[in-house]
């Protein structure tokens, strides 16, 4: 479940960097919760082809996140909303901006 949510979040951030076909397949699998077999049947390709595309997109999303870190920064900023102490918020923001 955690993997599912993680890749959904990465997809929402980086989907414009994917080609249309890969994006559509990934969205059907992760966004629409369709099985690989259902997608394969609808697109008239093999289930293994769909699985391969999904794995490749996951690798691309991981690469984008490793290079750009947008998801990580979003997570760090979301954690700040739970802090009550203004000094602690300022310190955490400074760390985020420094890239620590």
Distance CA 95, CA 79 (A): 13
Exposure string for 35-74, b = 16+ CB within 10 A, e = fewer: ebeebbeeeeeeeeebeebbeebbebbeebbeeeeebeee
pLDDT in tens, 59-89: 999 999 999 999 988 888 877 776 666 777 7
Retrieve residue 79's tokens: 């954690």
pLDDT in tens, 16-60: 999 999 999 999 999 899 999 999 999 999 999 999 999 999 999
pTM here is 0.77
Retrieve residue 31's tokens: 């966004």
Retrieve residue 64's tokens: 């984008």
Burial of 23: CB neighbours in 10 Å, binned 0-12, 13-18, 19+ = middle
């Amino acid at each position: 479940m955690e993997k599912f949510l993680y890749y959904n979040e990465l997809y929402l951030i980086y989907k414009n960097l994917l080609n249309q076909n890969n994006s559509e397949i990934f969205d059907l699998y992760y966004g629409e919760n369709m099985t690989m077999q259902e997608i394969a049947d609808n697109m008239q390709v093999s289930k293994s082809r769909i699985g391969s595309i999904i794995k490749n997109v996951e690798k691309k999303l991981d690469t984008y996140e490793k290079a750009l870190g947008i998801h990580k920064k979003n997570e760090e900023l979301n954690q700040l909303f739970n802090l009550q102490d203004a000094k602690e918020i300022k310190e955490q923001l400074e760390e985020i901006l420094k890239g620590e």
